[in-house]
Structure 1
Amino acid sequence: MTLLKRKSIEAVASRRPARGERERNARRHDRDTASDLGAAEDRRDEKRMTPRFAPVTFSEWNGVRYLHFGTEWVQGAMRLRKPDAIELEYAQQMMAWLLFLSPSQRDFHIAQLGLGAASLTKFCHRHFARARVTAVELNPAVIVAGRSMFGLREDDARLTVREQDAWDYVMDPASTGAHDVLQVDLYDATARGPVLDTTAFYKACRRVLKAPGVMTINLFGDHDSFPKNIVRICEAFEDRVLVFPEVHDGNVIALAFNGPAIDIDWETLEQRARVVQEATGLPARQWVKGLRRANARQEERLRI
């Protein structure tokens, strides 16, 4: 197979029309996933169906190992010489919560919904010695791949990898108010949009966050799933949402905030970014520039 870089893969995916069945499912979800308890219970029952998983496959090119779900579309990547680094730009932006929260706080808890190649999970576990890290992944083969092919460690006192549906995880009462950070990257083999994308799901994501707390989420900017996801996230988080400029010809990372309002000048945020960049090697100073450029009415100060 000829490997396609993520940029090419996502450009193709974003321009392909969604299948009719997916459109029917989206309409059904719009009807059935209102915020009331009855709709939530319907969705919970739906997610209990036995899942069918695409095969987990791999490729390597120019020193980078890629994760696939039986297609050329990339689901994650690891540079072999830097196995604990975050290789893809969009995945690096998923860490932009570092501009607003410090993982050195006591009982800091980061949850990753959708394990992929485990880059975010490994990075958080390695760099934030006081934080607890939980990864939630439905497909057991992805967990096996993470540990056998992408250097994911076995569970320890700070790391927990759960074979579980992300919907069930955020709906569990034990998760309520238990997380400082939620990193959401939920795609299947078709890579045409998040597999969980309802207002009910995003409201549940907000409920599991502390105050303050931040959700980062990977979306497809050029795909028809993008506007509906932004609308639903804004509804769930009362319009407290920022976006990055599009990368990889498709990926757009959004940040959604829970808790006290943020009102900060850009110079102060840039100072914070320099600290983050020096400590982690992540391009945090570019994050500040991107957020300032991509979000309307934020020219002088960041107010969210």
Structure 2
Amino acid sequence: MTPRFAPVTFSEMEGVRYLHFGTEWVQGAMRLRKPDAIELEYAQQMMAWLLFLSPSVDEFHVVQLGLGAAALTKFCHRQFSRARVTAVELNPAVIIAGRSMFGLREDDARLTVREQDAWDYVMDGTHAGAVDVLQVDLYDATARGPVLDTTAFYRACRRTLKAPGVMTINLFGDHNSFPKNIERICDAFDNRVLVFPEVHDGNIIALAFNGPEIDVSWAVLEARADVVEDTTGLPARDWVKKLRAANARQEERLRI
């Protein structure tokens, strides 16, 4: 009988522990001397919603679809003391690995890790309009494209978001899945999508927006980036620079 999930495996190189699903493809990483930091550049970019939303507001809720090495879940739980953080992961071995190999804490009043299919989570009507930030990173052992990538899925993702709300998603640029995913995300989010340039390992992060129109000057975003970088250590100034360069139709203001 074919196993339901690929094996969860690990490697270490130059002080970094990597998560794999039985192949050479990296599914997550943690620097052993900085276990609470976000090691991979694309994962850092998935936090770019911080340029648009404040996690200090009441009842702020961050949801991660696909736990990976738990870097984003750990970071949000540790960094944002008022936020509730939920991670949704189908493979129980990934959850075990997160806690035994990558320093993910046990659930508490603000942290919930659910063994559940991401499709079931976003299709559950009780989650409609309940999520401020949805971080989507859904890959299998081949790591060549998201395992959930239909327009129906992306529309369901949008339904979970509050207004305002932001979805960040990890896509693989060097693969034929990329154009269709961008097209479907744009369809689901009425073309309110920003895209980062591809990082060196092929990942492309997209941000999709729900709620009122955003009309903000790049100077204001740069000022916000200063605050984010100073308080979290994330390279937010670089985010603004790359978003502006990659979305060239914008001029002095970002309107989306």
Q: TM-score when scaled to structure 2?
A: 0.98
Q: Matched residues in 2 for 1:297 and 1:217: separation? A: 22
Q: Which residue of 2 aligns with 1:297?
A: 249
Q: Matched residues in 2 for 1:248 and 1:52: separation? A: 31
1:248 deviation in Å? 2.3
Q: TM-score when scaled to structure 1?
A: 0.83
Letter in 2 for 1:165: D
Q: Which residue of 1 aligns with 2:23?
A: 71
Q: Matched residues in 2 for 1:118 and 1:251: separation? A: 18
Q: Which residue of 2 aligns with 1:284?
A: 236
Q: Which runs of 5+ in 2 are unaligned?
A: none
- Where 1:222 maps in the other structure, the secondary structure is coil
- Where 1:133 maps in the other structure, the secondary structure is strand
Q: Which residue of 1 aligns with 2:83?
A: 131
Q: Which residue of 1 aligns with 2:188?
A: 236
Q: Matched residues in 1 for 2:156 and 2:108: separation? A: 27
Match of 1:223 among 171, 175, 193: 175
Q: Matched residues in 2 for 1:246 and 1:60: separation? A: 25
Counting aligned pairs with the same residue, the percent is: 85
Matches within 5 A, 1:113-132: 113-132=65-84
Q: Which residue of 1 aligns with 2:227?
A: 275
Matches within 5 A, 1:248-267: 248-267=200-219
Matches within 5 A, 1:1-304: 52-304=4-256
Query: Greater share of helix residues, 1 or 2?
Result: 1
- Where 1:74 maps in the other structure, the secondary structure is coil
- Where 2:30 maps in the other structure, the secondary structure is strand
1:51 deviation in Å? 7.6
1:296 deviation in Å? 3.0
Q: CA RMSD in A?
A: 1.0
1:299 deviation in Å? 2.5
Letter in 2 for 1:80: L
Q: Matched residues in 1 for 2:154 and 2:81: separation? A: 29
1:72 deviation in Å? 1.0
Letter in 2 for 1:145: A
Count of residues in Structure 1 that have an aligned counterpart in Structure 2: 255
Larger radius of gyration: 1
